Amino acid sequence: MNQPNQCDAEIIAIGSELLIGGRSDSNSLFLADELGKLGIAVRFKSVVGDDKQDIVIAIHTAVKRAQVIVLTGGLGPTVDDCTREAVASATGHRLGRRKEALDGMTARLAQWGRIASPAQLRQAMIPSGATVLNNPVGSAPGFCLTWKKALILSLPGVPREMEEMMRQEVLPLLRAQHESLGLSPRAPIVRQVFHTFGLPEADIDAKVKGLIPKGASVDLGLLVSPMGVLVSLTTRGNQSALVKSQILMEKLTNEVRSRLGEWLFAEGRDTMEEVVGRELIKRGLMLAVAESCTGGLIGHRLTQVAGSSAYVDRGAVCYSNRAKTDMLGVPADLISLRGAVSGEVAAAMACGIRERSNVSVGLSVTGIAGPGGGTETKPVGLVYVGLDDGTGRPISREFRFHGDRNVIKQRSSQAALDVLRRWLLGNG
For position 343, which CATH number holds? 3.90.950.20
Residue 182 located in a structural domain: no
Q: How confident is the model at residue 175 (pLDDT cuts 50, 70, 90)?
A: confident
Of 18-27, 107-116, 399-408, the poorest mean pLDDT is in 18-27
- Domain holding 229: CATH number? 3.30.70.2860
Task: Say whether pLDDT at 173 is over 80.
Answer: yes
Domain check: are 235 and 107 in the same one? no
- Residue type at position 151: L
Which residue segment(s) compose the domain that 242 sits in? 190-267
Domain check: are 347 and 324 in the same one? yes
- Give the residue among 259, 249, 190, 274 at the shortest CA–CA distance from 229: 259
Residue 2 located in a structural domain: no
- CA-to-CA distance for 356 and 376, rounded, in angstroms? 35
Domain check: are 144 and 15 in the same one? yes
* Contact yes or no for 299/291 (Cβ under 8 A): yes
At 18 the pLDDT is 85
Choosing from 124, 148, 176, the residue where a domain stops is: 176
* Contact yes or no for 293/366 (Cβ under 8 A): yes
User: Which residue would you say has higher pLDDT here, 269 or 189?
Assistant: 269
Task: Say whether pLDDT at 161 is over 50.
Answer: yes
- Domain holding 138: CATH number? 3.40.980.10
What residues contact residue 380 under an 8 Å CB cut-off, 6+ apart? 368, 369, 370, 371, 372, 373, 374, 408
Domain check: are 212 and 281 in the same one? no
Q: What is the mean pLDDT of the chain?
A: 92
The angle that helices 405-424 and 272-283 make with each other, rounded to 10 degrees, is 30
Domain check: are 130 and 201 in the same one? no
Domain check: are 251 and 282 in the same one? no
Task: Say whether pLDDT at 179 is over 80.
Answer: no
Choosing from 267, 286, 320, the residue where a domain stops is: 267
- 307-337 residue pLDDT tens: 999 999 999 999 999 999 999 999 999 999 9
Three-class secondary structure of residue 380 per DSSP: coil
Domain count for the chain, please give it.
3
Residue 131 located in a structural domain: yes
Q: Is the dihedral of CA 418, 424, 426, 428 positive or negative?
A: positive
At 91 the pLDDT is 97
Instruction: Label residue 129 left, alpha or beta by phi (over 0 means left) and psi (-120 to 50 means alpha).
Output: left
At 240 the pLDDT is 56
Domain check: are 297 and 343 in the same one? yes
Choosing from 146, 176, 206, the residue where a domain stops is: 176
Q: How confident is the model at residue 2 (pLDDT cuts 50, 70, 90)?
A: very low
Q: How confident is the model at residue 244 (pLDDT cuts 50, 70, 90)?
A: confident
- CA-to-CA distance for 158 and 313, rounded, in angstroms? 33
At 119 the pLDDT is 86
What is the arithmetic mean of pLDDT over 103-123?
90
Domain check: are 196 and 144 in the same one? no
Residue 181 located in a structural domain: no
pTM metric for this prediction: 0.81
At 5 the pLDDT is 45
Task: Say whether pLDDT at 305 is over 60.
Answer: yes
Q: What angle do CA 382, 311, 264 make, to 5 degrees?
A: 55
- 200-240 residue pLDDT tens: 999 999 999 999 998 888 999 999 999 999 999 988 655 55
Q: Is the dihedral of CA 97, 101, 107, 111 positive or negative?
A: negative
- CA-to-CA distance for 140 and 382, rounded, in angstroms? 47
What residues contact residue 346 under an 8 Å CB cut-off, 6+ apart? 364, 365, 366, 384, 385, 386, 396
- 23-33 residue pLDDT tens: 677 899 899 98
Q: Is the peptide bond before 331 cis (omega within 30 degrees of 0)?
A: no
Domain check: are 297 and 246 in the same one? no
